[in-house]
Amino acid sequence: MSSSSSNKVTAGGAPVPPSVSAASGAAAMPYQQPYPASRERPAEQPELDREIVPPRGREVDENVNNGENKSEHPENNKMVPFKIGQPTTVTQAVPSTTGNKMEYVCVCSYTKIDNLAHQPKGTPADHTMTVFGLCHESGRLTKLFVTADMDKELQNTAFVRSHPNKNVLYAVTESINDNGWLFAFRLCPVSGQLREVGKVSTHGRSACFITLSRDLRYLLVINYWDSTMASIPIDEEGLFLTNQLSVKKNQIPGNNASKDRTAHGNDPHSKHRFAESHAHACVFDPAFGKMAFVPDLGEGVIKQFVFDENNGAAKYCGTIDCGKEAGPRYLEFHPKLDVCYVVNELSSSVLVFRFDELRVQEAFENAVLQPNNTNFQPALDKVQEISTLPEAFPKKLNTCGRICVDPSGKWVLVSNRGHDSIAVYPINKQTGKLCNAKYHHTGGFTPRHFKFSTNGNFLFSANQDSNCVCVFAFNSRSGDLTYLRSYDVKSPNFIEVKKPSSSRKLAAWMYARM
């Protein structure tokens, strides 16, 4: 149950946070070995509600909430009261520097509005990237670095991905007029300073997503406007290989591929968005890292690709329907269950899919044996659809932003742009299905993105159209968000959290998360 109603309020209108107890984060998932030599397909189980057996190495956490028990959450479908006040002054906010506890919060901002597919209403920022230090005890942020010396060529950064084993961050620029750029930065583990160490073209316009291949030899970048995917090779240090000929451009098949597009304007639900292919993300399967799932917002489907780690090529191998005019934006796999969650930007809904790893294996084998065949079985089967909004709220006034599973694996969270909330769903520990959500105000307008701290105790919301990043304490037992404080950041659109890396290799699902 939300504790926001009991908060005291300052003269400026901002709630005074209660004491927050730290919640433990989830353990890293052991990585599954690829391609067993032989394995029989289990007997068909057509029942929709059958239990999902976790794959080897991903056992079910018995503490995961049973999402079917609706009585546990009597406040479902109620908006948590919140009054937006003045941003809290950042004083005495010193990040923890003991041992390996240092953690950085990198916030991207729009610096130019007229070259975007959409029309943000926030103030264009002077600097496109800001790095904060995080205090683990209080959740306070200290501004440490801005990209002041890079802003002439580094504009409209819209997505950041960190290397799992190196202190390297990758960022893409967003524009519908020119091809995007992928920048590599070295992160100083002591000061939080970013130093540019490479730049390469994304070979497409309006770059919007970055992911790493399972073997950490390729960066894959999705270009929303052209609906293309670039495979960019990197070395063992996470830096770009300089041979541009080795960059592979993969055209996503679909409507109006490679043709001019129509700007979205002020109406994100315009009909032309459904007439054009617009790839929005790329996520690898958690079992083998061989199949890439690419949501196509324009066509309302998820497209499957078999990825060749030898040359960076991606072979198209079928589609998964998400519904007419749904607008699939992002997807994320559960860290322990064979379940995938997809957020539909335009229909304001979440789809739950069962993941079939045997179909991924078959697709990879058939892609080699049948190079001209593109009609493979889908590796995702839909088992549920649930709204991200209260029943009475008009969907035409809302679009969805990010979706994620919290670090404990008990909750799915989705940001609503328009309703200006984060919906928190309990996860059924057997089926992976979702129960009705509770809603928490994001402390600002248009939460384009949000991110957890690495331990899961804090959540940061990028409120694009109110020029602020809000910090919340997250209770992994109840799923409640408690507002703590707000920081002035102009037109924030994306947040990445990076703890300076050790030599330990993380599981694939950890670095595939947005």
Tell me the DSSP string of 104-144: EEEEEE-S-STTSSS---SPPPS-SEEEEEE-TTT--EEEE
What does the pLDDT read at residue 246?
74
CA torsion angle 471 496 195 237 (round to 10): 150
Report how far residue 249's alpha carbon sits from residue 17's, in angstroms, rounded to the nearest whole number: 49
d(CA 172, CA 129): 11
The per-residue pLDDT for 371 is: 73
Identify whether the C-beta of residue 39 lies closer than 8 Å to the C-beta of residue 324: no
Look at residue 243 in the predicted model and tell me its pLDDT: 64
pLDDT for res 63 = 42
Q: What is the pLDDT of residue 245?
A: 59
Q: Give the contacts of 300 (CB within 8 A, at least 6 positions apart).
A: 274, 321, 322, 323, 324, 325, 326, 327, 328
pTM across the whole model: 0.80
Q: How far is it, in rounded angstroms, from Cα 232 to Cα 242?
A: 10
Along the 514 residues of the chain, how does pLDDT read in single tens digits? 444 444 444 444 444 444 333 333 334 333 333 333 333 333 433 333 434 444 444 443 444 444 444 434 444 444 444 433 333 333 333 444 444 468 999 999 999 999 998 889 999 999 999 999 999 999 999 999 999 988 788 999 999 999 999 999 999 999 999 999 999 999 999 999 999 999 999 999 999 999 999 999 999 999 999 999 999 999 999 999 866 557 888 889 987 655 566 666 566 767 777 778 999 999 999 999 999 999 999 999 999 999 999 999 999 999 999 998 999 999 999 999 999 999 999 999 999 999 999 999 999 888 877 777 777 899 999 999 999 999 999 999 999 999 999 999 999 999 999 999 999 999 999 999 999 999 999 999 999 999 999 999 999 999 999 999 999 999 999 999 999 999 999 999 999 999 997 645 555 445 455 5
Do residues 306 and 214 make contact, with C-beta atoms less than 8 angstroms apart? Answer: no
3-state helix, strand, coil in the chain (%, to 5): 5, 35, 55
Q: CATH assignment of 69-511?
A: 2.130.10.10
Compute the chain's Rg from CA coordinates. Answer: 21
pLDDT value, residue 273: 78
Q: Which two tokens stand for residue 62?
A: 């018995």
**pLDDT 10s digits, 466-498:** 999 999 999 999 999 999 999 999 999 999 999
Q: What is the DSSP letter of 427?
A: B
Q: Residue 361: which H helix or E strand, with range?
A: helix 357-369
Q: Determine the Cα–Cα distance for residues 491 and 262; give it in Å rounded to an integer.
A: 23
Sign of CA dihedral 21, 481, 446, 25: positive
Burial 477-511 (b: 16+ CB within 10 A, else e): ebbbbbbbbbbebbbbbbbbbbbbbeeeebbbbbb
Which pLDDT score is estimated for 374? 74
pLDDT at 101: 66
Task: Determine the Cα–Cα distance for residues 465 and 401; give it in Å rounded to an integer.
Answer: 13
Tens digits of residue pLDDT in 313-359: 999 999 999 998 999 999 999 999 999 999 999 999 999 999 999 99
What one-letter code names the amino acid at 444? Answer: G
**If we measure between CA atoms, which residue out of 133, 146, 124 comes closest to residue 105?**
133
pLDDT of residue 97: 41
Amino acid (1-letter code) at residue 26: A
